[in-house]
Amino acid sequence: MSSTLVETVSIDYEDFNESFLTCGTCLCMYDGTEHYPKLLPCSHTVCIQCLDRIVATFARDTGQFRCPICRELITIPRGGVLALPPSFLVNQLLDLMARQRREVIPKCSTHQTQELLFCETCDTVFCTLCTGGTHKSSLVTSTGSPTHSGGTDSGNNSPIHQNNASSTADHTVIPFSIAIKRMSEILIYKANECTAKLDAATEIVNAEIHRLDHNADSAFEQVNARFQAAIEAIEAQRQKVLSEVKRKKDEKKKVLDDQLGIIKAEKTKVDSDVKAMEHHVEVRNITKKISDLNCKLDTVSTLSEPRENSYIEYLVVERSTGESHGQAFDQKLNELVLELGQIKTSKTFPSLCRVTMDTAIANLEMVARLTTINYEGETQSQGGDPVSALVVDDKGERVPTDVKDKDDGTYEIKFTAHRPGTYCLKVLIFDRPVKDCPLFFDVTDHNPPLISFGSRGGAKEKGFFMQPCNVTVDDLGQVYVVDTGNSRIKKLTSNLDFIDHVTNEGLEGRSTTGICMGSSRDSLMVINWRTKMVTEMTLDGNTIGSFSHEDLREPIDIALDLDDNVVIADNGIGSVLVFETSGKLLKTIGSRGNGRGQFKDISAVTVTPSGDILVADSRIQVFSPAGDFVREIYPQGKGKGRYGGLVCDNHGFLLATRTEKARSFIQVFKLDTGSLYSLIDSHGCKMKRPTGLAVMQDRHLVVVDIGNDCVRKYRYF
């Protein structure tokens, strides 16, 4: 007959957690029924349910099984697994847990053995026996709490919360003991989170104070270095400037010290509240305190950034020139004292400063606008803040930026992104990020028109065109569009608002195809392919002069070279003709054909700022002022499409309209290299057949679209 020696030990409730009360095989909590703990000869504990399953599976004939934990061979005693001794240690722990729960968790005053439940959805404690399985907010339990319906799922003994108004109500009901434990943990977690943020805020503010001290010391050194070289007469001014540094520093430091005091007070209050609630068991009070801490977290976040900055800088005022010869010595001395410098500070609060920008388009210079604001939310009216900006593309490459101080509290951050994608803009003031920084934005390669004017219509209508084919712009930005089908020129403002119609005999016959500004920039020159006539007129339409020539067959475009000679592209003879303004033919450039220096279907001509002559058909060819072939631009376009217009600007760009099958667009080239800089496809406002175009002084261009009978304005860099 064998005997088993069972030792009991004294256990402290704080020395273990609930993992000691979990069966290592099925991972279920031990209890007094189906998961009753049994002690094996090898000293391991397994619940009786697991033992029954193991014996039924592996020990039907042998009468032995292996411990599922250490694999030691166990002999089944007489009476089966029920004869195995209970695990007194586990039972002691279960009793200790039950006793501790009885001490912490209140029971229903009516049903002494009934554990209360807690509805997380409604924040309510209730007894299922008192509520009778209903869910009525008007019922009150014996504990004084609003009642909830509740029950027990016979399958897993888990509480179920039901709503008599709707079977689909989603309420979460847990034992009150778990709620107490969970909310206590949340309380401690939130308190620790508040404390951590307050500690971080303290470090940040202290760091700002250190930087303030460092900057102030630097300012002191600069002041001393400059004032030491001055004569005794300026000693008083030196002391004044030093006092200003101290006063500015004290003002800033007082704000930061006050902020530290607030942080310290908040931290003390959090610690006090946590200590007061440490042994509290009333769930409503704990819930309220958690809610208070949640609200406090928002307040704590505002304390994480210094309410004052450390910016102190010593600025030297440059002495003005142009003094009168007889200026008094005292006045000179006062001016000299003022030249020794002054102290400058700033009230800018970076996290309130705003950055705005328009839609970013590839290859166009973009401007992000920074507005500075102080801690009180007031917009700053002076500049001078140390603003830095960084733009990075989605590959991590930096985009060059230029920050311009507008001296009114605003700043412009200029940059150009050369490809579409997602970019990141970081703006710092005093090395601290501004609001919503970093700012992520998308750059698109679609360049829609800024303004569009006109549609197809009759000659009497101000806003209608009939076959507009070319355009030019004067020095005031006024736009002149050749309305060929109506035998007139439409005069528009730089914003494409209608001004007037210009008429002239040189425009008759619905056949004017080319236009350019005259040599003095106060007249217009046009070419008529039907009459073969070149006409110069005032901006109001009065004829200044005209000429024709027997060699002209099908003139389609006109330009002036640097010597004010008239350059005409003639598709009839496949050449470019250069005339004096009197009509004398000076030279002929090129011939009909497909080779270099030859043309097929000439469409446009223009002259570069350096005097080169550019001619377009399906490619663009460059000729010297003397008419010699120099090079080709975009030779890969030969035979694939046709150009409609050419123009050069003063920024080194060549612009050309092009149509390839059903697709029309504007090409922007770098004139010096002939490389393609960008395309303007107009995207949602597609061009049908763009022809002539002209550039303005503000990085804009206007293009005539004969397919849409309109003129449009774009930005091109």
pLDDT, position 259: 87
Q: Compute, in degrees rounded to 10, the torsion defined by CA atoms 395, 398, 399, 401.
A: 150
State how far the Cα of 653 lies from the Cα of 351, in Å rounded to an integer: 41
Q: Is the pLDDT of residue 219 over 50?
A: yes
Q: Which of 1-10, 298-307, 548-557 has the lowest average pLDDT? A: 1-10
β-partners of residue 575 are 570
Q: What is the mean pLDDT of residues 33-62?
A: 87
In the β-sheet with 354-357, what is the strand arrangement from edge to edge?
354-357, 365-371, 410-416, 401-405
Q: Which phi and psi (to 5°) does residue 28 adopt? A: -95, 155
- Do the strands 410-416 and 312-315 form a parallel or antiparallel pair, or are they unpaired? unpaired
Superfamily of domain 549-645+686-697: TolB, C-terminal domain (2.120.10.30)
Amino acid at 506: G
State how far the Cα of 358 lies from the Cα of 351, in Å rounded to an integer: 21
The structure tokens 């994608």 sit at 421
Q: Is the pLDDT of residue 326 over 50?
A: no
- The residue ranking higher by pLDDT, 698 or 155, is 698
Angle, helices 88-104 vs 176-228, to 10°: value is 70
Which SS3 state, helix, strand or coil, does residue 453 take?
A: strand
User: Is residue 438 reached through a cis peptide bond, with omega within 30 degrees of 0 on the bond before it?
Assistant: yes
State how far the Cα of 502 lies from the Cα of 395, in Å rounded to an integer: 53
Task: Say if residues 164 and 151 touch (Cβ distance below 8 Å).
Answer: no
pLDDT, position 100: 63
The structure tokens 């005259």 sit at 518
Q: Is the pLDDT of residue 17 over 60?
A: no
Q: Is the pLDDT of residue 21 over 90?
A: no
DSSP characters for 311-326? -EEEEPPPPP----TT
In degrees, to the nearest 5, what angle opens at C-alpha 29 toward C-alphas 25 and 35? 75
Longest distance between any two alpha carbons in the chain, whole Å? 139
CATH says 350-444 is which class? mainly beta
Hey, CA dihedral for 295, 300, 302, 308, is it positive or negative? positive
The structure tokens 């009197």 sit at 582
For the entire predicted model, the pTM comes to: 0.62
Q: Which long-range contacts (CB under 8 A, 24 or more apart) does 188-195 make?
A: 188/274, 190/290, 190/293, 190/294, 190/297, 191/270, 191/271, 191/273, 191/274, 191/293, 193/297, 194/266, 194/267, 194/270, 194/293, 194/296, 194/297, 194/300, 195/267, 195/270, 195/271
- The residue ranking higher by pLDDT, 189 or 645, is 645
Q: Which phi and psi (to 5°) does residue 344 adopt? A: -125, 130
pLDDT, position 18: 63
Confidence of residue 325 (pLDDT cuts 50, 70, 90): very low
Confidence of residue 183 (pLDDT cuts 50, 70, 90): confident
pLDDT, position 16: 55
DSSP characters for 192-244? HHHHHHHHHHHHHHHHHHHHHHHHHHHHHHHHHHHHHTS-GGGHHHHHHHHHH
Residue 674 φ/ψ region, left for φ over 0, alpha for ψ in the -120 to 50 degree band, beta for the rest:
left
Token reading at 690: 């763009």
Which SS3 state, helix, strand or coil, does residue 50 take?
A: helix
Confidence of residue 669 (pLDDT cuts 50, 70, 90): very high
Amino acid at 452: S
In the 8-state DSSP scheme, what is residue 105?
S
State how far the Cα of 356 lies from the Cα of 239, in Å rounded to an integer: 43
State how far the Cα of 711 lies from the Cα of 229, in Å rounded to an integer: 67
Q: Is the pLDDT of residue 474 over 80?
A: yes
Confidence of residue 458 (pLDDT cuts 50, 70, 90): low
Q: What percent of the chain has pLDDT over 70?
A: 86
Which SS3 state, helix, strand or coil, does residue 96 take?
A: helix
- The residue ranking higher by pLDDT, 459 or 608, is 608
CB proximity list for 142: less than 8 A, separation 6 or greater = 108, 109, 110, 127, 130
Q: What is the mean pLDDT of residues 55-67?
A: 83
Task: Say if residues 455 and 463 touch (Cβ distance below 8 Å).
Answer: yes
Domain ranges of the chain: 13-95, 178-319+326-343, 350-444, 549-645+686-697
pLDDT, position 135: 45
The structure tokens 């920039």 sit at 521
Q: Comparing C-alpha atoms, which of 47, 64, 46 is closest to residue 55?
A: 64
Residue 21 CA: distances (Å) to CA of 6, 37, 103, 174, 320? 18, 9, 19, 20, 87
Top-confidence range, 71-75, 278-282, 330-334, 610-614: 610-614
Hey, CA dihedral for 310, 314, 318, 324, is it positive or negative? positive
Q: What is the CA radius of gyration of the chain?
A: 44
Q: pLDDT per residue over 410-456, tens digit each?
A: 999 999 999 999 999 999 999 999 999 999 999 998 999 999 998 87
Top-confidence range, 232-246, 299-313, 639-653: 639-653
Residue 558 CA: distances (Å) to CA of 139, 148, 528, 567, 583? 95, 91, 10, 6, 13
Token reading at 695: 């550039």
Mean pLDDT of the chain: 84
β-partners of residue 664 are 659
Q: Is the pLDDT of residue 547 over 70?
A: yes
Task: Say if residues 50 and 26 touch (Cβ distance below 8 Å).
Answer: yes
Q: What is the mean pLDDT of residues 590-609?
A: 93
State how far the Cα of 45 lies from the Cα of 48, in Å rounded to an integer: 9
DSSP characters for 354-384? EEEE--EETTSEEEEEEE-BBTTSPBP----
pLDDT, position 558: 97
**HSE-CB for 109 with a 13 A CA cutoff:** 7
Confidence of residue 567 (pLDDT cuts 50, 70, 90): very high
Q: Comparing C-alpha atoms, which of 505, 223, 253 is closest to residue 342?
A: 223
Confidence of residue 685 (pLDDT cuts 50, 70, 90): confident
CB proximity list for 305: less than 8 A, separation 6 or greater = 201, 204, 350, 351, 432
State how far the Cα of 77 lies from the Cα of 81, in Å rounded to an integer: 7
pLDDT, position 35: 86
pLDDT, position 234: 63
Q: Is the pLDDT of residue 193 over 70?
A: yes
Hey, CA dihedral for 677, 680, 683, 689, is it positive or negative? negative
State how far Cα 252 lies from the chain centre: 32
Token reading at 707: 């397919």
Q: pLDDT per residue over 233-282, tens digit each?
A: 667 777 888 888 898 899 889 989 988 998 888 888 888 877 877 777 67
Q: pLDDT per residue over 366-408, tens digit each?
A: 999 999 999 999 999 999 999 999 999 999 999 999 999 999 9
State how far Cα 89 lies from the chain centre: 62
Superfamily of domain 13-95: Zinc/RING finger domain, C3HC4 (zinc finger) (3.30.40.10)
Count CB-CB contacts under 10 A for residue 422: 11
Top-confidence range, 71-80, 92-101, 127-136, 574-583: 574-583
pLDDT, position 556: 95
Q: Which of 22-26, 548-552, 650-654 has the lowest average pLDDT? A: 22-26
Task: Say if residues 713 and 685 touch (Cβ distance below 8 Å).
Answer: no
Q: pLDDT per residue over 82-140, tens digit each?
A: 889 998 888 888 877 766 655 555 677 777 777 778 787 777 888 878 876 544 443 33
Hey, CA dihedral for 327, 331, 336, 342, is it positive or negative? negative
Confidence of residue 19 (pLDDT cuts 50, 70, 90): low
Q: What is the mean pLDDT of residues 52-77?
A: 86
pLDDT, position 233: 64
pLDDT, position 623: 97
